[in-house]
Amino acid sequence: KQSLTRFAAFMAEYKCFQIELKKGYGYNEFREDLKTLYFTAGADGEPIVFLFSDTQIVNESFVEDINNILNSGEVPNLLASDEWERVIAAVTPACTALGIPETRDNVKLHFIDRVRENLHIVLCMSPVGNAFRVRCRQFPSLINCCTIDWYDRWPAEALQSVSTQFFEQLDLGDNADALRSALCTMCSEIHISVVKMAERFHSEQRRRFYVTPKSFLELIALYKA
């Protein structure tokens, strides 16, 4: 999901932004990153993609702010008065060019309109566990204001192709081509067999065990280590 988002942003010539989790990163740092996004999209008028995954949710307030952006384009009390002055100075010329009266309210509204137009939010969420279900209930804009793309499991041909690419640089000694082909086939069959067993597990026990492409990549990583 994240790789496709970066690829799509590159094709559209959009910037792609992700928060950088580090020690001490919290809600204040997240809001500073949101300000950067707002200034880029609203003040500078540049298209930008905000790529955010559920593994980056350190605080549920992160999701609440994203819910507000999806719903209205605004985050309450995000910008201080001096930051609004910076926004007004940057956006006023755009209002003048469009013939919009240069009142403070009009400039602020146009700033938010530019944020809505230029800020593209991509949320990468895993269905594993209850967290996603709970967040969808708490923050309805995750459903109502988003286009949902469900990623199905990879077919056998894709598994074979991906494993071949990953193992291409692996030194397997003598008879490397035959070993590489057998290794790729084995990884694909292991993954497919686990998928089938997960379906049987759900059928018999009514419990879900999720097997994702990431599971396959982790399997390959065991042989590359």
Predicted local confidence at residue 139, as pLDDT: 93
Helix pair angle (213-224, 176-205), 10° resolution: 140
Using alpha carbons, select from 154, 190, 157, 75 the residue that is nearest to residue 121.
75
Using alpha carbons, select from 107, 37, 24, 42 the residue that is nearest to residue 66.
37
pLDDT tens-digit readout, 161-217: 998 888 887 777 778 788 888 888 999 999 999 999 989 998 998 888 888 888 888
Predicted local confidence at residue 39, as pLDDT: 94
Q: How far apart are the first and last CA of the chain?
A: 24
Buried-exposed string 167-203: b where 16+ CB fall within 10 A, e elsewhere: beeeeeeeeeeeebeebbeebbeebbebbeebeeeee
Residue 63 has pLDDT above 70, yes or no: yes
Residue 111 has pLDDT above 80, yes or no: yes
Residue position matching structure tokens 């930008």: 48
As a whole number of angstroms, the distance between CA 81 and CA 92 comes to 16
Question: Is this structure's pTM higher than 0.75?
Answer: yes
